[in-house]
Structures are given as structure tokens and as C-alpha cells.
Amino acid sequence: MIPLAKLTPKHFFIVGALVVATILAILFRRWAHLEANKSEKSSNVKSSDQNQSEGGNDDHQEKCKNKTCTSIRTYALEELKVATKNFKVQIGIGGTSIVYLAELEDGRLGAVKRVLDEKGGSQKMVLDEVSVLLRISHPNLVGLMGFCLEKGLLDPNLSGGVDEDQLRVVFDVANQALLPNSEARPDMREIVCKISSCMEPQLHPELPV
């Protein structure tokens, strides 16, 4: 021990340096501990994300096993001509289009809706229907397999044909239901009534109203 009377500024400097060094050592150890915890948490998060991703892939594969997984694609008019045998078998007719039976290369059956200029059809009409079909999905509604900008729509085949007027009502109701203004959108009762009015009675024997 050095008597207080004999302490010099040099002694105070040494003591101060030791105190600062001790504080820095404590802060460094604390910083290292926090960094180690961050690294461990980051590793756990990555591992969890990877497990969820693998689980999601497994779920997707399982769903694909239980049902047909299809993707929307564009078709050339020549492809549709081959699939329909040059638009040979007519299964439906509407105000601006004719629907033909098609068989794809993989053996699946489809319905090709051909919008015709001479019947008042237009490319905008095709794109509008494509837009609607891409935004709606329901077991009772036909899904979109692809489209052709040379005025062709390819839908999964409906056994019993396609009624253009019925589809037009459904498309109109779907468009109204997607309006951004909630006050302009029809409620469920109105939707059911509009769709029921264009369906055959045997197709909706117990539709709620």
C-alpha cells in the first residue's frame, strides 16, 4: 500500500488506467456474449425457416398427388386447331362465340371457346374473361387452363356442354362481386338469385336464398 501522502499524479494515472481497462474488459465480455446469443438465434431462425420450407414443399407435393396440378399457359391457334381437330366437334354456342371439344396432347379433355369477329367478339372480350377466370376459384365454376390471344379460350371440359348465356351471367356477377366499392357490390343473396335464375332447376335443387 502506498500512503496517501506519497501518492503522485502518476499513481492516479495508473489507477485510472486500470479502472478503465477493467471496465473495457467487462464491456467486451458482455458484447461477446450478446453477439453469441444473436448468432445462435439467427441459426435457429434459419433452421426453422428451412424446416417450414421443406414442410411446405411436402404439402404442395401431397396436394399435387391428390389432384391435377396445372398451370396457365398461352396456346397458339395452330395448337388449338390440332386439339379440336380443326374445330370439328361443337359443344356449345353463344352470342359471340362457339365452344368446341378439345383433346390435349396429354390426353386431357377441354373446351375451347372461340370468340369470332363476325359474331361481334373482340380481343378485349377474351382478355376480360381471362382476367375474371384468373381471380375466381370454386368447385362449381370452370377453371382456366390457358388462353390464346388469337381469340381462343381453353377451359376444362364440362360434361353436358357449355351454355354461353349461363357463363355470361356468371362472369357478370363475378365482375360485380369484385368491384372496389363495397356499396356497389351485390350481397350473397343477390349473387345466389342471379346465378340461380340462369341455371337448370336440377342443378340447384336446394340453393339458399
pLDDT at 43: 60
CATH number of 73-202: 3.30.200.20
Q: Has this prediction a pTM greater than 0.85? A: no
For residue 112, give the C-alpha cell. 375451347
Which of 154, 11, 14, 7 is closest to 74 using CA atoms? Answer: 154
pLDDT digit string (tens) for the chain, length 209 residues: 545 455 555 555 565 556 556 676 676 677 777 777 766 666 655 555 555 545 444 544 444 343 334 467 778 888 888 989 988 888 888 787 888 898 888 888 888 888 877 667 777 777 777 777 777 777 766 677 887 776 555 555 555 555 666 767 777 777 787 777 878 888 877 877 777 776 655 444 444 44
Alpha helices in the chain (DSSP H): 9-66, 77-83, 123-135, 164-177, 188-197
For residues 39 and 1, give the distance between their C-alpha atoms in angstroms, rounded to a whole number: 45
